[in-house]
Structure 1
Amino acid sequence: MPELSGKRIILGLTGGIACYKSAELLRRLQDEGATVDVVMTAAASRFITAETMQALSGRPVWLDAWDARADNRMAHINLTRGADAVLIVPASTDFLAKLAHGLADDLLSTLCVARGAVPLLAAPAMNHEMWTHPATQRNAAQLLADGVTLIGPAEGSQACGETGSGRMMEPDQILRALVAFFQPKVLAGRQVLITAGPTSEPIDPVRVLTNRSSGRMGYALARAAAEAGARVTLVSGPTALPCPDGVSRIDVRRATEMRAAVMARAAQAHLFIAVAAVADWGIANPSAIKLKKQADGQPPVLDFVQNPDILAEVAALPDGPWCVGFAAETDHLHEHAQAKRARKGIPVIVGNLAQQAMDAEDTELVIFDRHGAQTLPRQSKLQAARALIGWIAAHQPSR
């Protein structure tokens, strides 16, 4: 199901070269099921035409507070009634100042003042000197205090040729931020520690012992927890996945490195979700140089050492976080998962069949606790992660 199905979004454009990105954002919003009404300032129409936005949206574009298409001449009132959010992309320096001071001298600014309880989100876009100016920073702080959600800005190269903060977030980032905004904030105020991905145990400088974990489930849970309002730290083994928005990622390789990163942060966490496929064994004697084939055809002798049980160690902390483990099994899922839950001394373990989940975009999770098992429907890993986060929020006791 599209992420924004049934939502009506007012997309406001103000003056700035980043207006060209609003066309892509509009299509992305529609792809996710949103109905989009576009409102432009006069300055925005210097950078992109109303005809372009109307052709893309399939709906009339609004520019003038006195537009006669509104029977009561109150477009600033009519447009927000029934809207789910007002999204300003790009939000110029001037428009942020208007919002901060309640000015209403055109349709878009008047609409923002008259929107009532409709949420307002804005993606700032300006030269880095303009963004860091004390007045702009005061205005941004005031908007945050007023409950406005600011998306970005980012740092990077700018149209003026300079580099710094003030660059507008990319359309896909803005879309994710809007989707996240609508997610229930069931973990607000909580600190969540998550492990994800495989670990990689060196055999020699070029060979490793690892597994097929893609990290997708752990990264989906990190995104879902952040969307739910948590402060999320993700300790990740080697993976090519991008870090979810708003998540602090710590990159590790070996199981011992993952343990060190987790144990340094576990005491501050309210919730620990161990999703990583930690290698059960490491190599006790990794070679400092690349191992060569022997003339006699004999393979090298490798001595294995058992890696630490990170989840069990966190679960044993006297004042540690509430722990949720993961079990990827190939057979007898219910038996193995419940046995693992008891062995590690944790309240909840989430299981799935590895052959169905690895290299797949979707999964079927089973939640095991002392009351038994609950199977979630097969769905995308992000949808499954959101469902699991909702379940955890409803069952995690107050710390």
Structure 2
Amino acid sequence: MKRNDRAIVGLASVAHALVHTYELSVPILVGIWLVEFSTTPAELGLVVTAGMALFGLGALPGGVLTDRYGSRRLIAFCLAGMGSSFLVLSIAPSVVAIAVALVLWGVAASVYHPAGLSLISTGVSERGHGFALHGMAGNVGIAAGPLLTTLLLVVVDWRTAVGVLAIPAFAAAVFSVVLDVDETASVDEDAEGSATAGSPDSFGAFLESSKALLTGSFLLVFGVAICSGLFYRGVLTFLPELLSDLRTFQPVEFAGTTQEPANYIYAGLLGVGIAGQYLGGRLTDLMQPERGIAYAFGALAVLALLYLPIASVGPAPLLVVSAALGFTLFVVQPMYQATVAEYTPAPARGLSYGYTYLAVFGVGAFGAGLAGAILTYASPTALFVVLAGVAGVASVVGVVLTRSQ
């Protein structure tokens, strides 16, 4: 990689890891807040949902701001905002104050994906390699968030732990401000000038740019992103509970404490995703990303149908099929990220990724509700059949995109 590529990927990877570290630290804190503030799961669930919903819904305006003000400025805002929100959280005296802090976090974090992915797509010459490393960093954050928070809580109270977690965000924000990079190093100026959609500088321009994006092939990519989000939330939200119901992985006593083996399987599944992210990104340099989408989502559909039958056989088959699921689940992410860059003009790249992550985290958030409803009124088998159908739709769209080339 060139120096500019390394600098951009380094900044984006650090920010990406921190976004998901903070996102996944919150569930660890929920149990403490339930006791300290004498609240109910329903009330606290609404509080957490408010912040997480804005994480997805804010991606679209974040994309517009990225195109207008540049990726690096938005990343600096994201990092400083997340650090500030965790400082507010560390002194929160009530559930209302926790809600305010999490809403601030959601607003700040929401701009990251359109800004970070736009920066890689326009500034990095080895785009697929950049997406791979960026995705791996996100998975490091996904795995590190719960672990780091848990380890801090062993030695300090939750308020101190949250305050300590805020420090890396401020350090990274300073780094993003002083870093000297060319944000458009990989943009073909001729292609940029012929773009039919550009950076929206007014509401009318925003509507025109959105119309140009959503009436072309990008609309199919948008559909793939929705399917990815639905599958991601649908399979991961209740998977620890499903695993804990298996006879093989009942709670055990160790060193005077109750251990949940299912939680370790879950963490391992997320950790395997690091390798999946890397392979998915590298494959986008070796094949059409549309073809990769068809293959990867097809594999996810098959794994969804086979997961419970294989998992019920015994520990070894469960470990194998869980590793395969975690690996494939994250292979797809750099593939649709690269596909967005193929179907959108550089001046509207931030807007494009804004729509993409509105789909993944905004619309995709309904995957959790869908999974909960199916598990309540049907069965785990029905859930995985539905998820297989979602992945199958995305695979078919990949085939359509491949044939349209």
TM-score, length-scaled by structure 2: 0.23
Q: Judging by fraction of residues, say which structure has more helix.
A: 2
- The structure with the largest alpha-carbon Rg is 1
TM-score, length-scaled by structure 1: 0.23
The answer to which structure, 1 or 2, has the higher relative contact order (CA under 8 A, 6+ apart) is: 2
